[in-house]
Structure 1
């Protein structure tokens, strides 16, 4: 979609030429190939992990955690939150979720609720200082007179709201499934 948008902007500005088109195609292919390499690596890792009995090990660990599904969800959410500091959402989505998702769903987690919890958790971890990816993006577009510490302080209310939402959804999971069930 980004490549198509770049081509349309170039057409509208009368700047589309072969060199621009070739550069757009080249950059799109490079980004797409990086994502596919991550996807292939994650798929191979998941297959090897399952083939070596890793899924059964995860199931045993989760079943031994006090609190059952709730305790396991707290562990998974904490793990995903911490991994969100250093890994992009693509790696977490393609490596961690296929490992823990089936086990949590076998324990009784609703797939929609699980997906929403993971998505909100990832979004929160990307905002959290000092390693949040979103903060680095924001630092790149913020004026130079705005200090990094000001950005860190500015996201704290949003992090609080996100964490509050996670707690609310953990206590009342039916909030997530209300609209899909209604439709």
Structure 2
């Protein structure tokens, strides 16, 4: 199926709105609405920070509890345990290990305009691509993804991009 994300609204095709993301542009808390349902997407510190590179996790909660979780990971070959810490920068984060419906996925940032989510077999389950000058994001996925889940994965993609931004004080 093909979707369009533009201005925080998820469209099936280019005209039928099916979900909406609300919240701050660069924050750590978002609300996803699909019809009368509402979900919360947040970033929070991990209880055991050594579990991942940034010490944070992304998660989506509904009324029934936690529904989706992603833990960011260093770019392969840049793990400090193996490559050491470079003197001039911190290692880059380019992927997250995602858990949804008791299945594991890998969310990978190919570039800041292209994200792929792969299942355990390495098959692409969801693809997010920026549309360039046309604006918005094209999202392709299978029918197993409901609009609220697509919105959450989109927010996780944007969080992943923020992991590499330089903190300015």
TM-score using structure 1 length: 0.24
TM-score using structure 2 length: 0.25
More strand by share: 2
